[in-house]
């Protein structure tokens, strides 16, 4: 784990309650709060970047009207300016059948580099979990459509040996896409609760806090989208 005594910083952060609770601060506000901790800031930016990329994906697909990025600029999220070079550079496996997969492959490689450079066990484990879940979903979709799943996997060498059969079953049975996304985010939350490095007061604990906070914001966006559909 990354070294450092962050007792005062961590105890000053707002409490994150259940997954359905309102986020107590914005992702950007968290970055401001830890701006004098370079090691922790690198980790938090890396995690929050994944949320920016998800918002970018949704915005470009017309699924949302507005984005609230914390690491990227509005122009980058809206595809009016290029992404950082470490996300836009050529990849060994490009082009892929799904263009967005190349971007996510670049992101996970970048994130793993940060995890190794900062010696952050939590970030490395989170990447393993996220890659494994993403690829489990890709395999399930490919199987349903009679396609070769190997053509849709993203950086499988980074994935952790996690069994997602129960989560995939619940996701498949969801009545609509939004409900399916909530199934996945509940699984993510449960994993974070089990792996949040609570009371270690290391940079890993701050990284875990950031991962929980961005998940609260994503759940809040899903809840708002569900309410709009009902209106």
Reported as a pLDDT band with limits 50, 70 and 90, residue 224 is: confident
CB count in 10 Å sphere of residue 96 = 17
177-194 vs 165-172: helix axis angle to the nearest 10? 160
Q: Is residue 205's pLDDT more than 70?
A: yes
Give the DSSP H or E segment for 135: helix 121-145
Per-domain residue ranges of the chain: 34-230
Q: Is residue 91's pLDDT more than 90?
A: no
User: Taking the mean position of all CA atoms in its chain, how far away is CA 2?
Assistant: 20
> Is the alpha carbon torsion for 12, 14, 16, 17 positive or negative?
positive
> Is the alpha carbon torsion for 103, 179, 46, 190 positive or negative?
negative
Whether 140 and 76 have beta carbons less than 8 Å apart is answered as no
Q: pLDDT tens digits for 65-82?
A: 899 999 999 999 999 999
Angle at the Cα of 17 (from 15 to 18), degrees rounded to 5? Answer: 165
Whether 64 and 70 have beta carbons less than 8 Å apart is answered as no
Q: Is residue 152's pLDDT more than 80?
A: yes
Q: Is residue 93's pLDDT more than 50?
A: no
Q: pLDDT tens digits for 11-68?
A: 999 999 999 999 999 999 999 999 998 889 999 999 999 999 999 999 999 888 899 9
Closest CA to 184 of 162, 206, 152: 162
């Amino acid at each position: 784990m990354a070294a450092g005594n962050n007792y005062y910083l961590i105890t000053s952060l707002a409490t994150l309650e259940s997954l359905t609770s309102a986020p107590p601060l914005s992702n950007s506000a968290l970055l401001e709060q830890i701006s004098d901790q370079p090691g922790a800031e690198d980790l938090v930016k890396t995690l929050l970047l994944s949320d920016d990329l998800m918002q970018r994906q949704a915005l470009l697909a017309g699924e949302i009207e507005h984005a609230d990025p914390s690491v990227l600029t509005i122009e980058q999220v809206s595809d009016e300016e290029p992404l950082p070079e470490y996300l836009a550079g050529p990849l060994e496996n490009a082009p892929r059948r799904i263009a967005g997969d190349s971007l996510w492959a670049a992101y996970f490689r970048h994130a793993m580099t940060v995890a190794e450079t900062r010696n952050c066990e939590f970030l490395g484990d989170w990447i393993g979990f996220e890659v494994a879940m993403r690829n489990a979903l890709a395999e399930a979709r490919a199987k349903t459509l009679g396609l070769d799943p190997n053509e849709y996997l993203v950086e499988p060498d980074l994935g952790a040996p996690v069994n997602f059969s129960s989560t995939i079953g619940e996701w498949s049975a969801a009545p609509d896409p939004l409900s399916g996304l909530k199934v996945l985010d509940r699984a993510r939350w449960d994993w974070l609760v089990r792996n949040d490095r609570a009371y270690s007061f290391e940079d890993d604990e701050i990284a875990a806090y950031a991962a929980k906070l961005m998940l609260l914001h994503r759940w809040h966006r899903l809840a708002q989208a569900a309410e709009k559909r009902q209106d």
